[in-house]
Protein backbone atom coordinates (compact mmCIF):
# COMPACT_ATOMS: atom_id res chain seq x y z
CA UNK A 1 0.00 0.00 0.00
CA UNK A 2 1.16 3.53 -0.82
CA UNK A 3 0.34 6.90 0.67
CA UNK A 4 0.47 9.71 -1.86
CA UNK A 5 0.11 13.39 -1.02
CA UNK A 6 -1.05 15.41 -4.02
CA UNK A 7 -1.01 19.17 -4.26
CA UNK A 8 -3.61 20.29 -6.76
CA UNK A 9 -4.79 23.88 -7.16
CA UNK A 10 -3.24 24.80 -3.82
CA UNK A 11 -5.01 22.12 -1.79
CA UNK A 12 -3.50 19.01 -0.18
CA UNK A 13 -5.10 15.61 -0.24
CA UNK A 14 -3.87 12.33 1.26
CA UNK A 15 -4.83 9.20 -0.64
CA UNK A 16 -4.26 5.56 0.32
CA UNK A 17 -4.13 3.43 -2.79
CA UNK A 18 -2.79 0.10 -4.03
CA UNK A 19 0.26 -0.26 -6.28
CA UNK A 20 -1.83 -1.22 -9.37
CA UNK A 21 -4.06 1.82 -8.85
CA UNK A 22 -0.99 4.04 -8.46
CA UNK A 23 0.58 2.77 -11.67
CA UNK A 24 -2.65 3.45 -13.58
CA UNK A 25 -2.83 6.91 -11.99
CA UNK A 26 0.66 7.79 -13.23
CA UNK A 27 0.03 6.41 -16.72
CA UNK A 28 -3.08 8.63 -16.92
CA UNK A 29 -1.29 11.66 -15.47
CA UNK A 30 1.72 11.43 -17.77
CA UNK A 31 -0.44 11.44 -20.91
CA UNK A 32 -1.62 14.98 -20.16
CA UNK A 33 0.08 17.91 -21.94
CA UNK A 34 0.84 19.65 -18.62
CA UNK A 35 1.77 16.35 -16.97
CA UNK A 36 4.88 17.55 -15.11
CA UNK A 37 3.47 20.75 -13.61
CA UNK A 38 -0.15 19.86 -12.79
CA UNK A 39 0.60 17.75 -9.70
CA UNK A 40 3.44 17.89 -7.19
CA UNK A 41 3.49 14.39 -5.74
CA UNK A 42 5.43 13.07 -2.76
CA UNK A 43 5.55 9.28 -2.49
CA UNK A 44 6.31 7.33 0.64
CA UNK A 45 6.44 3.59 0.17
CA UNK A 46 5.11 1.60 3.14
CA UNK A 47 5.69 -2.07 2.48
CA UNK A 48 5.06 -4.85 4.95
CA UNK A 49 7.73 -7.04 3.33
CA UNK A 50 10.20 -7.14 0.50
CA UNK A 51 12.78 -4.61 -0.60
CA UNK A 52 15.36 -4.11 -3.28
CA UNK A 53 16.51 -7.68 -2.80
CA UNK A 54 13.17 -9.10 -1.69
CA UNK A 55 11.34 -11.97 -3.37
CA UNK A 56 8.86 -11.07 -6.10
CA UNK A 57 5.23 -11.03 -5.03
CA UNK A 58 2.34 -11.09 -7.51
CA UNK A 59 -1.39 -10.62 -6.95
CA UNK A 60 -3.09 -13.02 -9.35
CA UNK A 61 -6.42 -11.21 -8.90
CA UNK A 62 -5.01 -8.15 -10.71
CA UNK A 63 -5.23 -8.26 -14.53
CA UNK A 64 -1.86 -8.90 -16.14
CA UNK A 65 -0.51 -5.80 -17.89
CA UNK A 66 2.52 -7.39 -19.61
CA UNK A 67 1.63 -11.01 -20.48
CA UNK A 68 4.49 -13.08 -21.81
CA UNK A 69 2.81 -13.69 -25.16
CA UNK A 70 2.73 -9.92 -25.74
CA UNK A 71 6.52 -10.03 -26.26
CA UNK A 72 8.21 -11.48 -29.33
CA UNK A 73 11.72 -12.82 -28.84
CA UNK A 74 14.01 -11.36 -31.51
CA UNK A 75 17.45 -12.42 -30.29
CA UNK A 76 18.86 -13.90 -27.09
CA UNK A 77 19.17 -10.32 -25.82
CA UNK A 78 16.11 -8.50 -27.18
CA UNK A 79 12.33 -8.66 -27.30
CA UNK A 80 9.67 -6.69 -29.17
CA UNK A 81 6.61 -5.48 -27.29
CA UNK A 82 3.86 -6.16 -29.83
CA UNK A 83 1.55 -3.65 -28.12
CA UNK A 84 3.90 -0.67 -28.49
CA UNK A 85 6.26 -1.90 -31.20
CA UNK A 86 9.26 -1.01 -29.04
CA UNK A 87 12.30 -3.29 -28.90
CA UNK A 88 13.78 -3.78 -25.43
CA UNK A 89 16.99 -5.21 -24.09
CA UNK A 90 16.01 -8.09 -21.82
CA UNK A 91 18.74 -7.23 -19.30
CA UNK A 92 19.78 -4.03 -17.61
CA UNK A 93 23.03 -2.77 -19.11
CA UNK A 94 25.91 -4.70 -17.56
CA UNK A 95 24.10 -8.02 -17.21
CA UNK A 96 24.56 -10.79 -19.76
CA UNK A 97 23.24 -14.16 -20.89
CA UNK A 98 19.77 -15.64 -21.13
CA UNK A 99 19.32 -15.29 -17.37
CA UNK A 100 20.75 -11.75 -17.21
CA UNK A 101 23.57 -12.80 -14.93
CA UNK A 102 25.87 -10.34 -13.20
CA UNK A 103 25.23 -6.87 -11.87
CA UNK A 104 23.99 -3.77 -13.68
CA UNK A 105 26.22 -0.88 -14.59
CA UNK A 106 25.23 2.08 -12.42
CA UNK A 107 25.54 5.43 -14.17
CA UNK A 108 24.70 9.07 -13.61
CA UNK A 109 22.02 10.43 -15.95
CA UNK A 110 24.56 12.21 -18.16
CA UNK A 111 26.70 9.06 -18.31
CA UNK A 112 23.62 7.02 -19.19
CA UNK A 113 22.69 9.32 -22.07
CA UNK A 114 26.24 9.18 -23.45
CA UNK A 115 26.62 5.43 -22.92
CA UNK A 116 23.32 4.58 -24.59
CA UNK A 117 24.31 6.47 -27.73
CA UNK A 118 27.46 4.33 -28.00
CA UNK A 119 25.83 0.92 -27.67
CA UNK A 120 25.67 -1.42 -30.63
CA UNK A 121 23.87 -4.67 -29.88
CA UNK A 122 21.71 -7.24 -31.66
CA UNK A 123 22.73 -5.77 -35.03
CA UNK A 124 21.44 -2.30 -34.17
CA UNK A 125 22.95 0.94 -32.92
CA UNK A 126 19.92 3.16 -32.32
CA UNK A 127 19.61 2.26 -28.63
CA UNK A 128 18.54 4.98 -26.20
CA UNK A 129 17.08 5.62 -22.79
CA UNK A 130 13.30 5.19 -22.78
CA UNK A 131 11.07 8.09 -21.89
CA UNK A 132 8.95 7.69 -18.79
CA UNK A 133 5.83 6.55 -20.61
CA UNK A 134 7.81 3.90 -22.47
CA UNK A 135 9.47 2.59 -19.32
CA UNK A 136 6.17 2.53 -17.42
CA UNK A 137 4.67 0.51 -20.29
CA UNK A 138 6.67 -2.56 -19.21
CA UNK A 139 5.91 -2.23 -15.48
CA UNK A 140 3.76 -5.19 -14.43
CA UNK A 141 0.71 -4.11 -12.45
CA UNK A 142 0.23 -7.34 -10.54
CA UNK A 143 3.80 -7.74 -9.25
CA UNK A 144 6.25 -5.96 -6.97
CA UNK A 145 9.95 -6.56 -6.20
CA UNK A 146 10.35 -6.47 -9.12
CA UNK A 147 7.34 -4.95 -10.87
CA UNK A 148 8.22 -6.71 -14.11
CA UNK A 149 7.38 -9.88 -15.98
CA UNK A 150 10.49 -11.84 -15.06
CA UNK A 151 9.90 -14.40 -17.82
CA UNK A 152 10.52 -11.59 -20.29
CA UNK A 153 13.00 -9.58 -18.18
CA UNK A 154 14.80 -12.15 -16.00
CA UNK A 155 16.78 -11.34 -12.87
CA UNK A 156 15.51 -7.75 -12.98
CA UNK A 157 16.54 -5.25 -10.33
CA UNK A 158 13.95 -4.00 -7.85
CA UNK A 159 15.33 -0.49 -7.92
CA UNK A 160 15.38 2.74 -9.93
CA UNK A 161 16.04 2.79 -13.68
CA UNK A 162 16.73 6.04 -15.55
CA UNK A 163 14.40 7.55 -18.15
CA UNK A 164 15.33 10.18 -20.72
CA UNK A 165 13.13 12.85 -19.14
CA UNK A 166 14.56 15.75 -17.19
CA UNK A 167 12.56 17.25 -14.33
CA UNK A 168 10.88 20.60 -14.93
CA UNK A 169 10.55 21.25 -11.21
CA UNK A 170 13.81 20.05 -9.66
CA UNK A 171 17.09 21.60 -10.76
CA UNK A 172 19.53 18.95 -12.00
CA UNK A 173 16.83 16.31 -11.56
CA UNK A 174 15.71 13.54 -13.90
CA UNK A 175 12.89 11.00 -13.88
CA UNK A 176 13.29 7.31 -13.13
CA UNK A 177 10.96 4.37 -12.66
CA UNK A 178 11.44 2.37 -9.48
CA UNK A 179 10.89 -1.28 -10.35
CA UNK A 180 10.35 -2.34 -6.78
CA UNK A 181 6.83 -1.01 -7.23
CA UNK A 182 6.81 0.14 -10.87
CA UNK A 183 6.21 3.82 -10.10
CA UNK A 184 8.09 6.95 -11.23
CA UNK A 185 10.04 9.53 -9.29
CA UNK A 186 12.69 12.23 -9.64
CA UNK A 187 16.24 12.18 -8.33
CA UNK A 188 19.39 14.19 -8.91
CA UNK A 189 21.16 13.43 -12.19
CA UNK A 190 24.37 12.51 -10.37
CA UNK A 191 22.81 9.48 -8.66
CA UNK A 192 24.30 6.22 -9.94
CA UNK A 193 21.38 4.26 -11.38
CA UNK A 194 20.74 1.25 -13.63
CA UNK A 195 19.53 1.61 -17.21
CA UNK A 196 17.46 -0.55 -19.57
CA UNK A 197 17.81 0.40 -23.23
CA UNK A 198 15.12 0.54 -25.89
CA UNK A 199 14.90 1.33 -29.59
CA UNK A 200 12.11 1.98 -32.00
CA UNK A 201 10.81 -1.01 -33.90
CA UNK A 202 11.66 -1.34 -37.57
What pLDDT is attached to residue 124?
65
User: By CB neighbour count within 10 A (0-12 exposed, 13-18 middle, 19+ buried), where does 50 fall?
Assistant: middle
The SS3 call for residue 148 is coil
Q: Which of 172, 168, 169, 177 is nearest to 188 (CA)?
A: 172
pTM for this predicted structure? 0.76
Point out the residues of the chain with pLDDT beneath 70.
Answer: 1-54, 121-124, 202
Residue 11: is it exposed, middle or buried by C-beta count within 10 angstroms (0-12/13-18/19+)? exposed
Q: What per-residue confidence (pLDDT) applies to 170?
A: 87
Amino acid sequence: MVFITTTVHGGNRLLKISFPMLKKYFRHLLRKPNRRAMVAATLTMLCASGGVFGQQSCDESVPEWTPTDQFESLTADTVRDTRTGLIWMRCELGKTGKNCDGVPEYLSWDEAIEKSSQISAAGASAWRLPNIQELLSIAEDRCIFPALNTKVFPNAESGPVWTSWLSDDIANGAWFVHFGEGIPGVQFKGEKTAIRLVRDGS
